[in-house]
Chains A and B, each alone.
Chain A
Amino acid sequence: GENVEQHPSTLSVQEGDSAVIKCTYSDSASNYFPWYKQELGKGPQLIIDIRSNVGEKKDQRIAVTLNKTAKHFSLHITETQPEDSAVYFCAAIMEYGNKLVFGAGTILRVKS
């Protein structure tokens, strides 16, 4: 089955700097890769996603890149702000059914 590895597990950056979180997946048939942000005491919230027919997608300060050959995808946050501090999860959809497999999460701390 699908396996998703996420790195780093924790990331501290200075306000205004960029943050990058990387994930690798095992199932070459996976074709949908969402990223979720989870704030303390809340459920995960979808912030951006990418499908396998594109290599990059941007939404304001957030971008995701996908390298299908290498089976990895990354989340890029530019000009980080304190409100970006949260846990971020990557995921990949399994080939059959609408089942997501999640990475273990990255705790992002933005220091002001």
Chain B
Amino acid sequence: DAGITQSPRHKVTETGTPVTLRCHQTENHRYMYWYRQDPGHGLRLIHYSYGVKDTDKGEVSDGYSVSRSKTEDFLLTLESATSSQTSVYFCAISGLAGVDEQFFGPGTRLTVL
């Protein structure tokens, strides 16, 4: 998985609780992304980062925030989890060999009850 780890790999939480997912890379890539994957929707971009402390919104950013204080770490936070945020979350990186190719982590399965 191109030196990308995600933690936790599985999480069950309750509606209204805050949740933070972590993506860690050892590849020194500039760009990092958070996607969610849901049946029938493919992968949809939540937020992305183009450098330390530089982030921008994606297609489905409502209810999510991100932070990137170091090149290697990109955090996704659900401030108050809802059942509609039950999904599989993938982190991706790009930008060393080229700005286009993205490489994905193993994913985090999040269930919000």
Cα distance, A89 to B41, chains bound together (Å): 11
The residue that B42 contacts in the complex, of A41, A46, A93, A103, with Cβ under 8 A, is A103
Query: Would you list which residues of chain A between 1 and 31 have a CB under 8 Å from chain B?
Result: 1, 4, 6
Give the interface SS of chain A, mostly helix, strand, loop or mixed: strand
Q: Is the CB of B43 within 8 A of A34?
A: no
How many residues on the B side are at the interface (Cβ–Cβ under 8 A)? 26
- On whether A104 and B41 interact (CB within 8 A), knowing A43-B107, A98-B31, A98-B99, the answer reads yes
B74 at interface by CB-CB < 8 Å: no
Chain A residues near B4 (CB-CB < 8 A): 43
Which residues from B are CB-within-8-Å of A104?
40-42
Q: Which residues of A contact B40 (CB under 8 A)?
A: 104
- Does B45 contact A100, Cβ atoms closer than 8 Å? yes
Does residue B64 face the partner (Cβ distance < 8 Å to A)?
no
Given A41-B107, A43-B105, 15 other A-B contacts at CB below 8 A? A4-B42, A6-B42, A34-B100, A43-B104, A89-B43, A97-B48, A98-B99, A98-B100, A99-B45, A99-B48, A100-B45, A101-B45, A103-B42, A104-B41, A105-B42
